Chain A
Amino acid sequence: MSTLTPTNGRLSSTTREERLLSFEGRYRQQQFTRRNWTLLYGALFLAALIGSIAASGFSIPGLIKGLPMAWNYIAGTLPTLTIENFWGDLANWYWGLRFWTRLLVETILMGFVGTVLGGVLALVLCFPASRNLVENTAIYFAARRALEFCRTVPELVFALIFVFAFGLGPFAGVLAIAVHTAGSLGKLFAEVNENVDPRPIEGVRASGGNWPMVMRLGVVPQALPNYASYLLLRLEINVRGASALGLVGAGGIGQDLYVAIRQFEYTDISAIMLLLILTTSVIDIICETIRHRLIGHDLAASA
């Protein structure tokens, strides 16, 4: 709070021009430092841009040559649908619908089972990874690092390794999803745990509850709606992710998409991609509705 009055300090003894002058001086100085920062960030950005253009072999002629090629490719995947024979053309385009539906169901199941398994693992690991729930720093540290590892190694790398260990097929994909999900959900769950009200915890402890009881009766009831909301969010992400796992042989619709792309079966590509978009949109909408019911609109924005 400034308590400047016209009678104290510089204000009374300086003239209007002097005050204006000092104001302008300071204004200019601030502008100067701000401009310098902007210039510095701009220079850093430019350096990074030039560096990455050099490193990735990205060039304007390449872009000009490449973009029409990409466009032709995408245009080539579109089927010829005529109005006269619309249903026939549609049936032609979706000739493999029965087969693809089966693979789509497999993709969704992979996402679902992976999310549930990962969620269970996350639930086990999130309590030792919450700062307010464990006294032993070594346990806290170990749990945090384990979650970080599961989260940071890309899902697809896990999938590659699991395909080696467990063989081709959706089983490896589900495991990869589960491990990655455990990492990311465990962190989110732990953050929820760290924000719970400590009074119920003290209450359970005061009435003689041991550590698992404190977690079950003091923490879980408060955090459950948030857990469920994050779980649903993760389900959306995992169904999308499951569609890509097929590219490395870990089951789902990605396997057939891979074949279609590699063998240049153009219209199949667009057919499968459209199916994928439809499926993920429907799952998004369902999950979003349930989430909004479970919890206010506020979480969706921050998650």
Chain B
Amino acid sequence: MNTAQLADISRLKRINPEIFSRPLPERLRDWGMWIAFLGTFAFGLWWIDASPMRIINGLNKLSMLVVLMIPPWPGDGLWDYARAMLETLAMAFLGTVVAAVIAVPLGFLGAKNIVPNWLFHFSIRRFFDAFRGIDGLVWALIFVSAVGLGPFAGVLAIAVGDVMVLGKLFAEAIENVDKRPVDGVRASGGGGLHVMRLGVFPQVFPVMMSHVLYFFESNVRSATILGIVGAGGIGLQLSDRMRINNWQEAAFIILLILVTVSIIDAISRRIRAKLT
């Protein structure tokens, strides 16, 4: 860089310093935030005991496991896995359907334009939100204790975990209904039922269906692991194979999960694209 340019730069710096450096308080705030962030991160690493020795040892063991997994092989359990996978899909499907059916009236209750009381609206929305805080696996564990081992507990866990979130999404869909078709039906002499069927339903239904399909997709993913706590499906097979150190079959089950989830995703995405 030659001297003429350097002189130019120093002249510009003198004239408008704010372009070249931000005010001190702002910089201090940014530095403080970075230090807090890195400090928390370092503290977290210390807490979880992430020492280099442990990482190296673990990676060694991990590579051993990976070697043990190759090649993935179903053994003689292929038929069992297929049935368990079917059970998983059935759990996800039933759980989603039950959740959706219960969520429809909840959605109407939570919609501002149906129940205009703001206090009620606010508290029911918070209530919907609160349920999201519990992971599906925790519900599964609870329902296994309550109704016993098996896919029924899994269906209940999925349904209970989803119903509140779906209720909230449905309420939002109902709130976003365009008033003009409703007015149109009423203006041409339609009664309350006509308004619902011809004014509200065609607007709300595709949105709800799209949400439900999306939830089905994510429920298939979560249903694959519910078996680990005894709620039926492929997860039980997987944790069993891991427990007895049969890594080839475990790898095969993981691949089976991957393929199934991808297929369901592709189908559901196609239907959702058609809906909206």
Q: Is A32 engaged at the interface, CB distance under 8 Å to the other chain?
A: no
CA distance A198 to B41 in the complex (A): 34
**A244 contact from B49, B138, B147, Cβ within 8 A:** B138
Q: What's the count of A-B pairs with C-beta under 8 Å?
A: 176
Residues of chain B contacted by A52 (CB below 8 angstroms): 89-91, 93-94
Are B129 and A284 within 8 A (Cβ)?
Answer: yes
B133 engages A261 (CB within 8 Å): no
> Are B239 and A160 in contact, with the CB atoms below 8 A?
yes
Q: Does B70 contact A (CB under 8 A)?
A: no
Interface size on A, residues (CB 8 A): 64
Q: How many Å from the CB of A297 to the closest CB on chain B? A: 13
Choose, from B16-24, B115-123, B186-194, B221-229, the stretch at the interface: B221-229
Task: Tell yes or no: A167 within 8 A of B by CB.
Answer: yes
Q: Would you give the shortest CB distance from B249 to chain A, in whole angstroms?
A: 14
Q: Is B58 an interface residue (CB 8 A)?
A: yes
Interface residues of A in 270-303 (CB under 8 A from B): 273, 276-281, 284
Nearest to B50 among chain A residues (CB) is: A171
Task: Please encode chain B, from 185 to 222, with 1 for each CB lying within 8 Å of some chain A CB and 0 for all others.
Answer: 00000000000000000000000000000000000011
Identify the stretch in B3-11, B102-110, B255-263 within 8 Å (CB) of chain A at 4 or more residues. Answer: B255-263
CB-nearest residue of chain A relative to B57? Answer: A166
* CB pair A161 B62 closer than 8 Å: yes
- Establish whether residues B152 and A169, one from each chain, have CB atoms under 8 Å apart when the complex forms: no
Question: Distance in Å from the Cβ of B257 to the closest Cβ of chain A?
Answer: 7
Cβ–Cβ < 8 Å partners of B132 in chain A: 240, 280, 284
Chain A residues with CB under 8 Å of B224's CB are: 154
A251 at the interface (CB under 8 A from B): yes
Bound-state Cα–Cα, A51 to B89, Å: 10
For the complex with contacts A56-B154, A284-B129, 17 further pairs of A-B residues with Cβ separation under 8 Å are A49-B93, A58-B151, A66-B156, A109-B47, A112-B44, A113-B41, A152-B261, A154-B224, A165-B59, A166-B55, A170-B47, A240-B133, A247-B228, A248-B228, A276-B138, A279-B133, A280-B132
Per CB-CB distance, the 10 closest pairs between chain A and chain B, nearest first, are A52-B90, A280-B133, A166-B58, A73-B146, A55-B90, A113-B44, A244-B135, A56-B151, A277-B133, A165-B62
- Please report B residues at the A interface, Cβ cutoff 8 Å: 40-41, 43-45, 47-50, 54-55, 57-59, 61-62, 65, 83, 86-87, 89-91, 93-94, 97, 129-138, 141-143, 145-147, 150-152, 154-156, 221-222, 224-225, 228-229, 232, 238-239, 242, 254, 257-258, 261-262
